[in-house]
Structure 1
Amino acid sequence: MSRAVLLTAILFVGASAAPLQPGTISQTWWRHCELLDMTYSLSNETTIVPIKNYIKYPFELTPLVKGMVPGVPNDYYLHVGKFCSMEHFGTHLDAPNHVLRTLKEGQEMFTLEKVPLTDVIGEACVIDVPEEHKYVRSNYKLTIDDIKKWEAINGLLHEDCIIIIRTGQERFWGNQNDFLGTDTPEQLDPKTGFPNTMSWPGLGVEAAEWILANRGLKAIGADSISFDAGDVSLSRSVHTVSCSESHLLINSKSS
């Protein structure tokens, strides 16, 4: 299925609405839909890009209390823990200020809490990379021609679309080397601190610029560690192109 409604976040506020009557909730639309959880579970083994400053902060889940609480009547049971994690871990949103400091007008680029809720609800448009570039170590980048071929079958992209690039990398989730497309993730570029041997397919910069100029979108996501291909240039990428237009970026989405 190439088009669907993607709900990244849902919030209902009824402060000014009349009280709900008995039975109202059972008639709500989501009870007649199939809702898909497209996130990955987090654990101490979750794949992380071994960037120099990232590997110091893996996900940690620590149990604090699990069992009966002494001194409390009525056999009180409690299960509480804490977790520590960097922001860009597992399935997550990149705010526009992730890779850019300022807007074109010079104002400071905004952070995630300032993103309108409507920006994370839209029509999901799933675009596959060519089959010959799935499940292999490839840095293939979707082209403008690829996008036009998709539109010829599925209809035109538009400003309410949330584009999801299906690379096939989800198959390798849990295997760091295969998910990152490298046997040497520990080899870091001395200038950037990034691994310099990673490979996975993604969206090309030219295609992203064409979509923004001719179609519009709400957000871009992928089932890989990034919708930029593995050999992305940090100076010019889909990340920087999209964030410059204040679009959200969704990384490591299960498909």
Structure 2
Amino acid sequence: MTIQIVDSHTHLDFPDFEHELDAVVARATEAGVTRMVTICTKLVHEPRVRALADRFDSVFYAAGTHPMSAASEPLASVEALVALAAHPKFVGIGETGLDYHYTADSAAIQQESLRIHIEAARQTGLPLIIHARDADDDMARILTEEHRAGAYGCVMHCFTSGADLAAVALDLGFYLSVSGIAAFPKSTALRDIFASAPVDRILVETDAPYLAPPPHRGRRNEPAYTAHTARAVAPVWDLSYAEFARQTSENFDRLFTKAAQYEAQG
């Protein structure tokens, strides 16, 4: 029997998959990826992302404004994000966050957008999906300030930040998500950060079409490759692939409770 695993973060609406979505989802299922969350990064695209969740039984979705688009897209409102949560397969808020690598000039609007998404996560009870790059100090500060103001769940998606931000996130009860980057041979320092995290706070993702793990590095990523990343990083916690797949699936259900409840009802 094929071992089952969850791809907690992918982008199935991107043009890379436009003409072969059925095949991509079929390959994921064949690889044991029986559930995946496709992420909307601009709210104007929410209808087409929602349509994918409606089309495929194994696909759930989340929506928000990506920090790199915070200055060029209309500012999201708490009310609009909360309204999206009425859909039975809408399971998370984001991705949102801070990215100072290319877009540090929009730091202020990114921070405002992030706080709006956090409030929506509070009100809906859905997990926040965070993108963080070159903004560790501000990210740690805002996440901590907001958590003191009212608790919320959160996953640090495609975690590649420093050990200090990892520690803050874990102390707040958040989850860290492993992407194909952690499977790269030279990612020893990143794997060491993950090794310091309890395995019951770890998710796994592709961030497809980006960041394909070996043996597909440098080519288009897709949800089926979740299994390659998981096999590569399972030894970080002295687990077999089967054990790691089961643990991360349980973690996903604990954080993404709406997806778990949908599965149970289905």
Greater helix proportion: 2
Structure with higher Rg: it is 1
Whose RCO is larger (CA < 8 A, sep 6+)?
1
